[in-house]
A and B are shown apart, each in its own frame.
Chain A
Amino acid sequence: KQEVTQIPAALSVPEGENLVLNCSFTDSAIYNLQWFRQDPGKGLTSLLLIQSSQREQTSGRLNASLDKSSGRSTLYIAASQPGDSATYLCAVGNNAGNMLTFGGGTRLMVKP
């Protein structure tokens, strides 16, 4: 059974810092990996999707990497801003591609 772990559970940084969020998963037979953002009381917004054959994806200040063999993904946020404050969730798609298993999330606070 796939298990997804995110470290750290919470992170507080001053504005402008570059930061890395970590995600690890136990079963490397994945279809894809997706990073989401969740604001308090809101739904999830998809940030980046990495297919199992890819090593990384970039969108603006965000860069996500995937090392399937070691069961790890990282989300790199450059030049963090207060508006980046949210919970970031990593989700792994199973081999059939028909369900996502979520990590517990990293709650990020960027201080002005």
Chain B
Amino acid sequence: DTAVSQTPKYLVTQMGNDKSIKCEQNLGHDTMYWYKQDSKKFLKIMFSYNNKELIINETVPNRFSPKSPDKAHLNLHINSLELGDSAVYFCASSQFLGGDTQYFGPGTRLTVL
């Protein structure tokens, strides 16, 4: 069983489009995260959610809107895609907020043309 899953694995789209990436965890964790890994392989936190509540928005443009319908899901919707949004996006979860091991999904490679 996959602990943290993301769909789609690859996403190729045109500038200006709106797209969503879905994330689900079956670990029963309270906290979920979105990270962005750019072309230089640097990983940066974007959002963290605890019990469906936004905890951190790390200076991410308003075009990015996370949605957490329940504790097991944290989806990422991106409006008006730009070239600079091309990256690998990772979802992660941890049992609780603060001090716990984070488990990562396989990543979604987004390419904006």
Closest to A104 in B: B42
**Which of the four size classes fits the interface of chain A?**
20 to 34
With A42-B107, A43-B107 known as contacts, the answer to whether A100 contacts B98 (CB < 8 A) is no
Partner-binding segment picked from A44-52, A61-69, A73-81: A44-52
Q: How far is the CA of A98 from the CA of B46 in the complex (A)?
A: 12
- Known A-B contacts A98-B55, A102-B43, A102-B44; the reply to A46 vs B98 at CB < 8 A is no
Q: How many whole Å from B40's CB to the nearest CB in chain A?
A: 8
Chain B positions 21-54 with a Cβ under 8 Å from a chain A Cβ? 31, 33, 40-45, 48, 50
Interchain CB contact under 8 A, A100 and B102: yes
Closest to A49 in B: B101
Contact between chains at A43 and B43 (CB < 8 Å): no
A104 cross-chain contacts in B, Cβ below 8 A: 40-42
What CA separation (Å) do A101 and B45 show in the bound complex? 7
User: Does the CB pair A34–B102 fall under 8 Å?
Assistant: yes
Any A CB within 8 A of the CB of B97: yes
> Is B58's CB within 8 Å of the partner chain A?
yes
Task: Decide if A99 touches B105 in the complex (CB within 8 Å).
Answer: no
Give A49 to B95 CA distance when docked, in angstroms: 14
> How long is the Cα–Cα vector from A36 to B92 in the complex, in angstroms?
13
Segment 61-113 of B: residues with Cβ below 8 Å from A: 90, 92, 97-107
Report how far A43 CA is from B100 CA in the complex, Å. 18
B56 on interface, CB distance cutoff 8 Å: yes
A10 CB to nearest chain B CB (Å): 12
